[in-house]
Structure 1
Amino acid sequence: MKLHIVPARTGIAWVKSGIRVFWRQPMAMAALFFMTMAAMSLATLVPLIGPALALALLPSATLAMMVASAEAVQGRFPTPAVLLVAFRTGRQRLRHMLVLGALYAIGFLAVMGFSALFDGGLFAQVYLGGEPMTREIAENPEFQTAMWVSMALYLPLSLLFWHAPGLVHWHGVPPVKSLFFSIVACLRNMGAFTVYGLGWLGVFALGGVLISLVSGLLAMLGVFSAESAPGAIGGLMVGLAMVMAAMFFSSIVFTFRDCFEPPEPPAAPAQATP
């Protein structure tokens, strides 16, 4: 396994590739993304350990979208079977993915716990769904401090786990080593990842503008009544956000593919090479 250093402009190529591969199989990719999110939402319903269990599933969900994108790139239709790919590649890799999920849950909860030092845990309660967001909460200075601290701490956590699922699945790297290789790859290619992040910010901003324009046009045409307009516009925004999030997750495999040499020998079809 060899690390590749790519130019900063590659970040835009990753964004374009994610959008392109999503639209190759839009219904399949959107459905798979929705199912991964639904599985994580259902996991939160488990008493006591629900939120931690949902967090632990995120690396496996990310891997599922990476495999789905790799399948689509190779001209194959990504089926729901990819959702279980992390659990079908042998006991050792299954164990490694479970450890990776546990480490992610511990890291994320540690970030939330640290943020509680600034606002008594209010931001953590809102983020984890235990407290509804209100204007009063949003304007609370302590809440805002906790939010920015959490964002600052989540960035290195995200870099640690960015490539880790792919390294465990395609290269058989143990969990702790995969975290090390992941953050090294991200830091060595920081220019490309910065452009990548800015590119997706632009895509999401453009999506928001598009929804505003479409909503305004439909309101002018009288498509929505005064009573139904807020709900309809909200539904459009949620739908577009889901599509853009699915495109974002579809792009992750391209960052992995360009940062590491492909594994040898090639993986089986159900475990498509990125």
Structure 2
Amino acid sequence: MKLNIVPARTGLEWTRTGIRVFWRQPMALSALFFLCMAAMSLASVLPLVGPAVALALLPSATLAMMVAAAEASQGRIPTPTLLLVAFRTGRERMHAMLTLGALYAGGFLLIMGLTALIDGGQFARVYMGGEPMTREIAQSGSFQAAMWVSLLLYVPLSLLFWHAPALVHWHGVPPVKSLFFSIVACLRNLGALTVYGLSWMGVFVAAGMGVSLVVALLSGLGLGIGFAGGVMMGTALMLAAMFFSSVVFTFRDSFAPPSMPAPQ
């Protein structure tokens, strides 16, 4: 396994490739993303351990979207069975993915715990859905400080786990080593990842402006707030699925040969 250093402009190509591959199988990839989110939502309602279990499923959900995008890029139709791809590639890799999920959940909850030292846990309750956001809360100095601290701490956590699920799945790297290799690859290709993030931000902004215009037109035609809300929600889910479909290409160019890694 060799780490490839790519130029910053590659980040734009990752975004373009992700969008192009998504539109090869838009319904299949959107449906799989919806199933991933639904599974995490269902897990979150479990008593006591629900939020932690939902967080632990995120690396597996990310891997499912990466494998699905790899399938679509090779002209195959991703199926809902890919939702369980992390748990049906052998006992050793299944345990590795479970360990990775536990590490991610622990890291995220640690961040939330640290923000609680700043604002008494208000940001954590709002973020985890336990308390509604109000204008007074949003304008609170302690809440804003906790929000920025969480953002600064989440960046290294996301870099640790960016390539980790794929390294475990395609290269059989142990969980802890996959975290180390992931953050090293991200830091060595930080320019490309920055361009990648900025280009996706541009896509989201442009799409948001376009949807806002459409919603305004639909409202003017008297189609109602509910219909307009459905358009906005559907677009948001599609954009999220499109983004997660592009992540596999950041892995492919960082670790694997130029050809797409073969799904397992």
| Bin of the TM-score, shorter chain as denominator length | over 0.9
1:245 aligns with 2:245: no
List aligned pairs for 1:138-149, cutoff 5 A. 138-149=138-149
Structure 2 residue matching 1:24: 3-state secondary structure: coil
* Aligned counterpart in structure 2 of residue 258 of structure 1, from 253, 259, 262: 253
CA distance in 1, matches of 2:257, 2:173: 13
1:235 to 227, 230, 234: 230
C-alpha displacement of 1:239: 1.2
SS at match of 1:6: coil
In 1, are the aligned partners of 2:218 and 2:228 still within 8 Å (CA)? no
**C-alpha contact (below 8 Å) 2:219/2:228 kept by paired residues:** no
Shift of 1:43: 0.2
Report the Cα distance in structure 2 between the residues aligned to 1:129 and 1:219, rounded to whole angstroms.
Answer: 29
Instruction: State, as a whole percentage, how many aligned pairs show the same letter.
Output: 72
Deviation at 1:141, TM superposition (A): 1.2
Q: Does structure 1 conserve the Cα–Cα contact (< 8 Å) formed by 2:8 and 2:192?
A: yes
- Which residues of structure 2 form unaligned runs of 5+? none
Name the aligned partner's letter for residue 219 of structure 1.
S
What CA distance in whole angstroms lies between the structure 2 residues aligned with 1:235 and 1:149?
33
Query: Post-superposition, which runs of at least 4 consecutive aligned residues in structure 1 deviate over 3 A?
Result: none
Amino acid at match of 1:146: A
Question: 2:179 maps to what in 1?
Answer: 179
Q: CA deviation at 1:223?
A: 3.4
CA distance in structure 1 between the aligned counterparts of 2:228 and 2:194, rounded to whole angstroms:
32
Cα distance in 1 for residues equivalent to 2:108 and 2:231: 30
Residue 197 of structure 1 aligns with an amino acid whose one-letter code is: G
Name the counterpart of 1:161: 161
Aligned-residue offset at 1:234 = 2.4
Q: What CA deviation, in whole Å up to 9, does each residue of 1:125-156 have, x standing for no partner?
A: 01111111111111111111111110010000
Aligned residues: 263
- Note if 1:125 corresponds to 2:125: yes
Aligned-partner Cα distance in 2 for 1:119–1:237: 32
Query: Does the 8 A contact of 2:215 with 2:228 survive in 1?
Result: yes
Q: Do residues 35 (structure 1) and 61 (structure 2) align?
A: no
1:223 paired residue number: 222
Deviations, residues 92-145 of structure 1 (Å, cap 9, x unaligned): 100100000000000000011111111100010011111111111111111111
Residue aligning to 2:152: 152
- Partner residue of 1:11? 11
RMSD across aligned positions (CA): 1.4
